Amino acid sequence: GSADLETEVVVLGSGPGGYTAAFRAADLGKKVVLVERYSNIGGVCLNVGCIPSKALLHTAEVINEAKEFAHYGVKFGEPEIDIDAIRAHKDGVVSKLTGGLKALAKQRKVTIVHGYGRFTSANTVEVEAEDGSKQTVKFANCIIAAGSRVTKLPFIPWDDPRVMDSTDALALAEVPKRMLVVGGGIIGLEMATVYHALGAKITVVELSPGLMPGADRDIVKPLHNAIKKQYENIYLDTKVTAIEPTPEGLVCTFEGKGAPEKDTFDRVLVAIGRSPNGGLIDAGKAGVFVGARGFIPVDKQMRTNVPHIFAIGDIVGQPMLAHKATHEGKVAAEVIAGHKSYFDAKTIPSVAYTSPEVAWMGKTEEQCKSEGIAIEKGVFPWAASGRALSMDAGNGVTKVLFDKESGRIIGTGIAGKNAGELIAEAVLALEMGADAHDIGLTVHPHPTLSETLNFAAEVAEGTCTDIY
């Protein structure tokens, strides 16, 4: 058929993976078309993910700190919550970023086409606009960056507005009196942090035996201990088997130890995971293989089974994180431009921006154990850090793991204020192949939380002098 648009590179989806790939390709001299179904570019991360959640979490942090400081001689009184202003602050942060992205796309002469894209052949994508009009984009190379969507359990009454997914929760319609959070992972616990600070009574229900599956238990403990005191209930090893809307509230049925058979909540947030969008783009018409669960397999150059079609971000696999998507996006664009790039990260860090934060990278201690890797471990409790104590952050902990054979850092877990910032140094150490001596001899500024990494390395070496 005839094409309305012809381009060297078409990028399907404008999330962190897609816009990064589009910009990098344009910077390398390629003619680029970026296809996005929604009117705002930026994808899940900017619009309904990382950024709005962090804006609300900052609000929560300010409320919590003000409250806690009553113990230390300054009382601010009960916070007055203006939910419209809080929402406006969050929306303002998002629109600054999406507006900025639009300007950056324009500067680079990246053409944005709004509408839903589907493959019609190995060299054409058809984009259907909201008004039903269709446009065909003929391409030499394609980068699939169509991301993921909320996983929907079948028995959940989604048409009731009191039942929320993460997008609904971020919209902040109201602060419910009692809220159930289904799923004790990163997204569920971040939203629980926000709603608790705003005044909701929180119950968390998690299917597995512990919160934040994937992290070491000792690193999750400071968070668990903190929220155990704040929340109404935390049910582990428990599942929700039914949610029944009634005029009085949502009647939830539980199955598991410690949970009542039924309880009634004003709102329920379901945060049990995300599913890749691989099955929704007619990939088969381009000959692109999509796995059973909707992920698109790629090689280290982000190439699908069709050599001129690439895929990046949430749609290619776990972990579904923005910083993975952006790095993969650069690789795909560079490979298309003829560079010998490939995705070679040794680790992708995970961060929960809860209070306290929980961050980890590399292998967990649990993984080392199950893989039979001998390790040397250094743990530094923040109760011995002067900076942590002066910031009321003595509940934190920094744990660094070293491979016994090579001596090199192999994993790190940090719990505590700003753990998400602190983990970056451990990631760099891992990428550079640092050992405990390298980290121990690196002079860190005093007094800082960053020293705890230094001290944990010294603990592993046996050279730590204990209190700072």
Give me the active site residues, please: 446
Give the integer Cα–Cα distance in Å for 95 and 32.
24
Say how far apart CA 453 and CA 208 lie, in whole Å: 30
Closest distance to ligand FAD from the beta carbon of 435 (Å): 28
| Closest C-alpha to 212, from 183, 235, 179 | 183
Query: CA–CA separation, 421 vs 400, rounded Å?
Result: 15
Shortest distance, position 113 Cβ to ligand FAD, whole Å:
9
Tell me whether residue 313 or residue 411 sits nearer to ligand FAD (CB atom).
313
Distance between CA atoms of residues 466 and 468, nearest Å: 7
In the complex, minimum distance from the CB of residue 352 to ligand FAD, in angstroms, rounded to a whole number: 9
Residues 6+ apart with CB under 8 A from 296: 144, 276, 278, 283, 288, 289, 290, 304, 311, 315, 316
In the complex, the smallest distance separating the C-beta of residue 278 from ligand FAD, rounded to whole angstroms, is: 10
Are 50 and 177 in contact by the 8 Å Cβ rule? The answer is no
CB 9 within 8 A of CB 145: no
- Give me 419's structure tokens: 């753990």
CB of 281 to ligand FAD, least distance (A): 5
Binding site for ligand FAD (CB under 6 A): 12-18, 35-38, 43-45, 49-50, 53, 116-117, 145-148, 166, 187, 277, 281, 313-315, 320-323, 325
Sign for the pseudo-dihedral over CA of 311, 313, 319, 323: positive
User: Measured from the CB atom, is 352 or 456 closer to ligand FAD?
Assistant: 352
Task: Please identify, using beta-carbon distances, which residue of 37 and 67 lies nearer to ligand FAD.
Answer: 37
Smallest gap from residue 82 Cβ to ligand FAD (A) = 23
What does residue 200 show for φ and ψ, rounded to 5 degrees? -80, 150
Q: Which is nearer to ligand FAD, 186 or 243 (CB)?
A: 186
Give dist(CA 14, CA 147) in Å, integer: 9
Whose CA is closest to 316, among 117, 79, 71, 145?
145
| C-alpha–C-alpha distance, residues 201 and 221, integer Å | 21
Task: For ligand FAD, give the closer residue by CB, 240 or 320.
Answer: 320
Cα 126 to chain centroid, rounded: 30
Distances (CA, A) of 337 to 32, 306, 308, 316, 432: 12, 17, 11, 21, 27
CB of 453 to ligand FAD, least distance (A): 21
Give me the least distance between CB of 378 and ligand FAD, in Å please.
27
C-beta of 189 vs 459, nearer to ligand FAD: 189
Nearer to ligand FAD, 167 or 367 (CB): 167
d(CA 303, CA 62): 44
Q: How far is CA 371 from the centre of its chain?
A: 26
Cβ proximity to ligand FAD, 45 vs 220, nearer residue = 45
Provide the minimum distance between the beta carbon of 329 and ligand FAD in the complex, in angstroms, as a whole number: 7
Question: Is the Cβ of residue 43 or residue 362 nearer to ligand FAD in the bound state?
Answer: 43
As a three-state string, the secondary structure of 61-76 is HHHHHHHHHHHHCCCC
Tell me phi and psi for residue 279, to 5 degrees: -85, 0
Q: What is the dihedral of CA 160, 164, 169, 175, to 10 degrees?
A: 50
